[in-house]
Amino acid sequence: MLFVVGCALADEVLPSWNDGQTKHSILKFVARVTDQRGPDYVAPAERIAVFDNDGTLWCEQPAYPQFRFGMDRMQTVAAKFPELKNREPFQSALADDLDGVIKSSVHGLIELTAATHGGLSTGEFDGVVNNWLATAKHPRFQQPYTNCVYRPMLELLGYLRANGFKNYIVSGGALEFMRPWTEKVYGLPPEQIIGSTVKTIMEMRDGSPVIVRQPEIESINDKGEKVLSIQRVIGRRPIAAFGNSDGDLPMLQWTAASRGASLCVYVHHTDGEREYAYDREASTGRLDKGLDEAKARNWTVVDMKRDWKRVFPFAESEATRK
């Protein structure tokens, strides 16, 4: 394992990050917890970092990609679910009314996924996700959604991994909507993904056990539930946490309450030109209380416009931007 320590290599690590306070706060933290002779040293096994996904690792505007996924699926299966058609978010989904769907928030997100994918085995669901990702495109960037990930954050995942960290996604998005692609895109294997879940049952099909998804929500992995799922799955308190909305605040607070050194980072969407600019009034990814708390507690706030040389991997022309 390669350990890159300190700020001496600041120009070589995190190349998509502009030099400045934000980048240095990250480098400094990593240097502190990996310095074996320093007072803040943390053993590798305890170097747990947790990342929100929507809006922290990939673009969540104009709507969570998973909303589009559920809406597309709804067109296919609507006839099978007449009882849903007058209920939100299904009514809006059927009318192809994205704004209506967005209003249903994370709960609607999981409900749409659960209802439109019940009865599928986990293997079949993987196939549905992969097929959708192969053709669906982000409406503005005209790229596959899995290309609309933040290049600076990909570098950060790799940098932490190289320094002995174990990175987890802790997202409000559906667990099995992420796993089919997170290893390829983020280098994060299925056991390092935590998300919302639908109920599942085990049943025998052709003499073989299969796990079958039920059209019912099991857990919404948002706000305090993120803390509880971190404890349930990981059983260690993270020392670094990255989020972008108020839904991530408890996870950051939990991380900050660590006895030793900790790093709490908010990604602040300030760049309407290259991505989207939104915070306190947003219906998707609202960052209001979190912004105040970050200021009060001196957490690191990434100003996307100022701190990132480029946003997306496909945006080669941004590379020279300072």
CB-based contacts of 265: which residues, under 8 Å, 6+ apart?
26, 240, 241, 242, 243, 299, 300, 301, 302
**208 binds a copy of itself, rule: CB under 8 A:** yes
- Cβ closest to a copy of itself, residue 84 vs residue 193: 193
The two tokens of residue 25 are 């706060």
* Residue 261: CB atoms within 10 Å: 16
> Contact region for a copy of itself (CB under 8 A) — 23-31, 127-135, 147-155, 197-205?
197-205
Question: How many chain residues bind a copy of itself (CB under 8 A)?
Answer: 28
Enclosing H/E stretch for 241: strand 240-243
**211 binds a copy of itself, rule: CB under 8 A:** yes
Q: Which of 162, 177, 195 is nearest to 51 (CA)?
A: 195
**257 binds a copy of itself, rule: CB under 8 A:** yes
At closest approach, how far in Å is the CB of 278 from a copy of itself?
A: 26
- Decide: 59 and 148 in contact? Cβ < 8 Å: yes
Q: By CB under 8 A, what part of segment 213-242 binds a copy of itself?
A: 224, 227-228, 231-236
- Between 166 and 195, how does the x/- string for binding to a copy of itself read (CB under 8 A)? ---------x---x---------xxx-x--
- Decide: 143 and 162 in contact? Cβ < 8 Å: no
The two tokens of residue 239 are 């020392």
> Contact region for a copy of itself (CB under 8 A) — 51-59, 142-150, 201-209, 314-322?
201-209
Tokens 């760049």 sit on residue: 271
- Cβ closest to a copy of itself, residue 95 vs residue 233: 233
- Decide: 305 and 271 in contact? Cβ < 8 Å: yes
| Residues written for the chain | 322
At closest approach, how far in Å is the CB of 76 from a copy of itself?
A: 25
> Contact region for a copy of itself (CB under 8 A) — 1-9, 77-85, 89-97, 205-213?
205-213
- Cβ closest to a copy of itself, residue 278 vs residue 299: 299
**209 binds a copy of itself, rule: CB under 8 A:** yes
Tokens 């209802």 sit on residue: 115
64: which DSSP letter?
Answer: -
Q: Which of 276, 301, 278, 282 is nearest to 291 (CA)?
A: 301
Q: By CB under 8 A, what part of segment 117-176 binds a copy of itself?
A: 122, 175
**200 binds a copy of itself, rule: CB under 8 A:** yes
Q: Exposed, middle or buried, 55 (CB in 10 Å: 0-12/13-18/19+)? A: buried
**254 binds a copy of itself, rule: CB under 8 A:** yes
- Cβ closest to a copy of itself, residue 21 vs residue 231: 231
* Residue 20: CB atoms within 10 Å: 11
| Residues at the site binding a copy of itself, with contacts judged by CB under 8 A | 45, 122, 175, 179, 189-191, 193, 197, 200-202, 208-209, 211, 224, 227-228, 231-236, 250, 253-254, 257
